[in-house]
């Protein structure tokens, strides 16, 4: 059985690699093309909807090669949501939808998997407090999670291979950590995760710098949607540790999204306002090349993944300390690169003031 799975994963990657050039031609044919403008880094028109190749390869593998490994209801329930998000993404890549129209499609896909595939959070177990039953809040909390992750992945899709590579790292880590929490009856979740990873690996050579095709909203939203769904399957009966792990794993897109919202709020701009101050923009403005920026963010994603892998080995106190250390380190990094603004560095200024005061105090004592 293990051999069959490995062969299927290899076949999935090959299928994705073979399909991508055809999807590239198809994108030009239907007008799914990203033309250069002030916000784009591409200098020539680039075909989008590259995520369609990932979707087809993934669906072929799960529907045919691995159909005996996945519960039928879960398989078809997820497939319905996938089709909705892919259709919405393709329409956006061709005609460019408004933000509200995008969110409507994401909510529709979320409702489908919530009621049909059972993708939902029911309750949360908090340390020292106990179990908090979500009740009717289960639906809005689940939809909020799905929409947030979909848009977080979509936001980091600004450089060649960036969203694809970061998502491969995140999904692989979710698959590994999931083995700590999934019982044998739910191993199919890990199988689907690694199948999606395989389909993305087949696509990555065409998407890495210099890219020949983009993921487009089709791919970024599809990957974000699957990331959200797979992480929620591990969060049905959630504890503090199982909640924090997916958040840490998705640290790169979540950080970029959260600080983009803070930045726009501080600048009194609409949340949906587009700018060139995202994580990848800031690194390039600091002098890194396109390829170097992507590789640096891959490295950051790997650091988040390594931290996430420590949680299953930690007790509650260790997990809390690990979370605090991670948040402090993240804030220092964000302030250092000016993600919110070059003049907004409260923690760095505070540390600097403490160092200055300590130095002055020591000098006074010596006198």
103 and 241 assigned to the same domain: yes
Specify whether 304 is located in the same domain as 322: no
Q: Does the annotation flag 362 for ligand binding?
A: no
Q: Are residues 233 and 324 in the same domain?
A: no
Quick one: 34 and 174 in the same domain?
Answer: yes
Convert 120-135 to b/e letters by CB count within 10 Å (16 or more is b). bbbbbeeeeeeeeebe
The two structure tokens encoding residue 318: 């260790």
For residues 42 and 36, the answer to whether their CB atoms sit within 8 Å is yes
Rounded to whole angstroms, the Cα distance separating 200 from 353 reads: 47
Question: Comparing C-alpha atoms, which of 203, 155, 201, 161 is closest to residue 294?
Answer: 161
CA distance 181 to 330: 27
Boundaries of domain holding 10: 2-313
Q: Are residues 37 and 185 in the same domain?
A: yes
What distance in Å separates the CA atoms of residue 26 and residue 121, rounded to the nearest whole number?
38
Cα four-point dihedral sign 357, 359, 365, 367: negative
Do 97 and 120 have their domain in common? yes
Place of tokens 């061709």: 94
Question: What angle, rounded to 10 degrees, do the helices at 51-60 and 216-233 form?
Answer: 40
Whether residues 309 and 319 share a domain: the answer is no
- For the chain, the domain total comes to 2
Measured distance CA(233)–CA(200) in Å, rounded: 21
256 with 284, same domain: the answer is: yes
Structure tokens at 184: 């044998």
Among candidate residues 313, 332, 351, the one where a domain is terminated: 313
**153 in the same domain as 250:** yes
Claim to verify: residue 290 and residue 258 sit in the same structural domain: yes
How does pLDDT run along the chain (367 residues), one tens digit per residue?
577 888 999 999 999 999 999 999 999 999 888 876 655 555 678 899 999 999 999 999 999 989 888 888 899 999 999 999 999 999 999 988 888 999 999 999 999 999 999 888 877 666 566 667 788 888 999 999 999 999 989 888 888 999 999 999 999 988 888 777 665 557 888 899 999 999 999 999 999 988 899 999 999 999 999 999 988 875 554 555 666 777 888 888 888 888 888 888 877 777 766 667 788 888 888 888 989 999 999 999 999 999 888 887 877 788 888 888 988 988 888 888 888 777 778 888 888 787 777 777 766 666 5
Residue 183 annotated as part of some ligand binding site: no
């Amino acid at each position: 059985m293990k051999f069959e799975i490995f062969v299927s994963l290899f076949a999935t990657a090959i299928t994705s690699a073979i399909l991508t050039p055809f999807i590239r031609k198809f994108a030009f044919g239907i007008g799914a093309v990203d033309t250069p403008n002030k916000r784009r880094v591409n200098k020539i028109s680039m075909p989008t909807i590259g995520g369609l190749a990932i979707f087809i390869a993934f669906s072929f593998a799960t529907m045919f090669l691995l159909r005996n490994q996945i519960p039928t209801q879960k398989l078809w329930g997820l497939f319905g949501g996938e089709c909705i998000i892919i259709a919405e993404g393709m329409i956006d890549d061709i005609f460019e939808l408004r933000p509200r129209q995008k969110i409507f499609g994401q909510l529709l896909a979320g409702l489908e998997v919530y009621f049909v595939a059972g993708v939902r959070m029911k309750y949360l177990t908090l340390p020292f407090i106990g179990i908090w039953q979500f009740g009717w809040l289960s639906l809005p909390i689940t939809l909020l999670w799905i929409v947030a992750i979909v848009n977080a992945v979509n936001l980091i899709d600004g450089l060649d291979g960036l969203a694809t590579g970061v998502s491969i790292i995140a999904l692989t880590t979710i698959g590994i950590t999931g083995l700590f929490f999934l019982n044998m009856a739910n191993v199919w979740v890990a199988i689907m995760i690694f199948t999606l990873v395989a389909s993305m690996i087949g696509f990555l050579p065409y998407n890495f710098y210099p890219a020949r095709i983009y993921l487009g909203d089709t791919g970024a939203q599809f990957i974000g949607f699957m990331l959200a769904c797979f992480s929620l399957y591990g969060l049905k009966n959630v504890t503090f540790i199982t909640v924090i792990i997916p958040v840490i794993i998705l640290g790169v897109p979540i950080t970029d999204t959260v600080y983009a919202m803070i930045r726009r709020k501080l600048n009194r701009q609409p949340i949906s306002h587009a700018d060139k101050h995202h994580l990848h923009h800031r690194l390039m403005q600091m002098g890194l090349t396109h390829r170097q920026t992507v590789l640096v963010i891959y490295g950051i994603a790997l650091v988040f993944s390594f931290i996430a892998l420590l949680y299953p080995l930690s007790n509650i106190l260790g997990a809390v300390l690990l979370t605090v250390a991670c948040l402090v380190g993240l804030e220092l990094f964000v302030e250092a690169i000016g993600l919110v603004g070059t003049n907004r560095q409260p923690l760095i200024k505070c540390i600097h003031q403490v160092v200055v005061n300590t130095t002055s105090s020591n000098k006074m004592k010596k006198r």
